[in-house]
Amino acid sequence: MASTWIRSFLLPFTGAVLLFPQVPAVAPEMTMQYIRENYSKYEYKIPMRDGIKLFTAVYIPKEVMEGKKYPILMERTPYDCAPYGEDQFPTNLGPSPLFAREKFIFVYQDVRGRYMSEGDFTIARPQKPIKKTSQDTDESTDAYDTIDWLIKNIPGNTGKVGIWGISQPGFFATAAMIDAHPALVAVSPQAPVTDYYLGDDVYHNGAFMLAARFNMYQGFRPRGDEPTPPVPTLPFDFGTPDGYDFYLSLGTLANADERYFKNMQPYWNMNAKNPTYNDFWQARSIWKYLKDVKPAVMIVGGWYDQEDPQGLFRQFYQLKKDSPDTADMLVVGPWVHGGFSRGDGDKVGNVSFGSKTGVYYREKIEFPFFMHYLKGVENGKRPKAWVFETGVNQWRQFDQWPPKDSKPTDLYLTPNGKIAWQQSPSTPAGFDEYISDPAKPVPYIGHILMGVRYDFMTEDQRFASTRTDVLTYKTDILDHDVTVSGPITVDLKVSTSGTDSDFDVKLIDVFPAKYPDYDAKPGAPAVNARALPASTVQLGGYEELIRGEPFRGKYRKSLTTPIPFEPNKPERITFQMPDVLHTFRAGHRIMIQVQSSWFPLTDRNPQKFLEIPNAHSTDFVKATERIYWGGPDGSKIEFPVLP
């Protein structure tokens, strides 16, 4: 059986496709036998205020029979509460094996409309801020009603409840802290789905996350009208190991439904056919309701989260704005989606971090957080932000995020592929251009792979630098460390010969050619090779992706109201990339790449103004893209630099 802490990431069918690398499903010190010997299992159908009953599995320490009491730790999930049956036990309980050893009352619940729970399931169910009758339910009321029932009916509980959840379960954890039950004292949304349109799973700045969504909805299907446990099915046969070839052969988005989903996958359609930030998406923006939050909150995520990189920051900033008195903490480490919950966390792809960051998080941050708020253990003051600084590979604590000492710094794109730290009056206005061909889109990785590689956010970008449809700009060799700490703002002046185009921007750390044994620039600080990543891959000249985001040009004025480009007329595109804490070391270079496709990470733009889900194959045309530099309004990148 998949353990509780890993099963949340599995697509719910036999032979499921993992969205990240496989790791041992259980830590050596935890076994199913231990859980069976130390916990009693019960299954309930808990009634909600509107009469719908939700399937809930409860694991109670056997010491309750001796009069001991324990707090409740709960996960609400749209995946499953497996294993089903009161005589069936999982291989782990709680966020990590530390929790099962410590002893809590563990609760797992199928959310409304999923598997053994009654009702209808809705993707990221809209929040109802005004509730007039018992029929006005949402995920916050279901969490409230569940907690209320648990503390009144489960023996041996202390009256304190904590909730955690990763990815989609992170969405349900977030919902629980809105108008929270008084017994809910600690909440941890982890890699949380927060706004599917604004930079999470589905859309990034109007660009559809094609491969990940197609893969997800092959397995995540509607349940049917009646409660039923997961039904084993065969994994989807792509017929090729080459994802680039598969999705290019797919053609238009409309073909996916006809060829592969057979009009039987409403979740795909509601994602693909809502390309603007319309009422459908805005109703699901759970972060907008984080006001006057009472429980303590620990928001967790990874710098290299390939699915939900923006959600944790959006929640953190909203709490800062609308719940300034909430005891909240931001935790970010060098992890892929959910990578903090399992494995060592000592590397992502070709980049190593010199320590077991996942173990550190689970032992030093996550476990103490819940122990403090659920069991009253005094374990030190928590910072506002507990984050891992990549590049120099160290944990740092700040009393605010971004750090108060961060200073806005501009990098200007200039002729001949150069980046300047200052705008020179002598630089004349000009542009670089390239031909973007939807028939030959820029791949997001440089080798053959199906789907979305879990670690692509540290991938070497040298393959892209050699393409004629990718513009590359870089600084001179750095003579001192440069630490970027916070969100990155892209400010481009562009034009296209089409009426719509994507402009994808990547921030890259270029390693020295003789890495790590290279001669630093005269006067530069000495490089400590032991602080640098070690890898079996030759890192000399490596171009490590630090951050990258697409932008669909027709949304440059508004994500709700797209407008066409006037061919060849310069326009402004401004957007933010998710936060980073990364140090570009002395001897490295900072690189910016600009391109107009990133395939099949995102869907192809026809480069013609239209509803892309309804595009025909004949609508896809080549376009000449220009990036303007120099003059008073040339293209630039802005990020906060920490002294």
How is the chain split into domains, by residue range?
4-195+284-398, 407-642
Residue at 275: amino acid letter: P
Which stretch of DSSP H or E encloses residue 219? Answer: helix 210-219
Report whether pLDDT(1) > 70: no
SS3 content of the chain, % helix, strand, coil (to 5): 20, 25, 50
pLDDT band at 535 (very low <50, low <70, confident <90, very high): very low
Q: pLDDT (tens digit, 9 = 90+) per residue, 493-518?
A: 999 999 999 999 999 999 999 875 43
Averaged pLDDT for residues 217-237: 88
Determine which of 110-119, 271-280, 533-542 has the lowest per-residue pLDDT on average: 533-542
Confidence of residue 170 (pLDDT cuts 50, 70, 90): very high
Per-residue pLDDT at 539? 87
**What's the pLDDT score for residue 537?**
65
> 473 or 515: whose pLDDT is higher?
473
The burial class, CB within 10 Å (0-12 / 13-18 / 19+), for 642 is buried
407-642 placed in CATH 2.60.120.260: yes
Domains 4-195+284-398 and 407-642 share a fold: no
Residue 290 corresponds to which tokens in the numbers above?
């984080």
- Give the mean pLDDT of the chain: 91
Lowest mean per-residue pLDDT among 78-92, 194-208, 222-236, 541-555: 222-236
What is the fold, at CATH topology level, of the domain defined by 4-195+284-398? Rossmann fold (3.40.50)
Helix (H, G, I), strand (E, B) or coil at 172: helix
Which of 118-125's residues contact partners 24+ apart within 8 Å by CB, and which partners?
118/45, 118/52, 118/53, 118/54, 118/227, 119/48, 119/52, 119/54, 121/78, 121/222, 121/223, 123/196, 123/267, 123/270, 123/271, 123/284, 124/171, 124/193, 124/196, 124/284, 124/286, 125/175, 125/284
Averaged pLDDT, 248-274: 91
Residue 273's nearest CA partner among 248, 250, 258, 253 is: 253
Task: Give the model confidence (pLDDT) of 545-599 as tens digits.
Answer: 999 999 999 999 999 999 999 999 999 999 999 999 999 999 999 999 999 999 9
Of 4, 2, 5, the closest CA to residue 343 belongs to 5
Model pTM score: 0.91
| pLDDT range class, residue 392, cuts 50, 70, 90 | very high
Place of tokens 């799973």: 201
**What was the pLDDT predicted at 29?**
63
- 82 contact partners, CB below 8 Å, separation of at least 6: 1, 2, 7, 90, 229, 230
pLDDT tens digits along 401-422: 999 999 999 999 999 999 999 9
Cα dihedral sign, 95-96-98-104: positive
Mean pLDDT of the 59-64 span: 97
Q: Which two tokens stand for residue 639?
A: 């990020």
Element (H, E) at 208: strand 207-208
As a whole number, mean pLDDT of residues 353-357 equals 95
Neighbours of 297 (CB within 10 A): 24
Flag whether pLDDT at 23 surpasses 70: no
pLDDT score recorded for residue 72: 98
With a cut of 70, say whether residue 523 has pLDDT above it.
no
Dist CA 643 CA 637 (whole Å)? 18
**Is 17 a residue whose pLDDT tops 90?**
no
Identify whether the C-beta of residue 139 lies closer than 8 Å to the C-beta of residue 252: no
Per-residue exposure over 465-489, b if at least 16 CB sit within 10 Å of its own CB, e if not: beeebbbbbbbeebeebbbbbbbbb
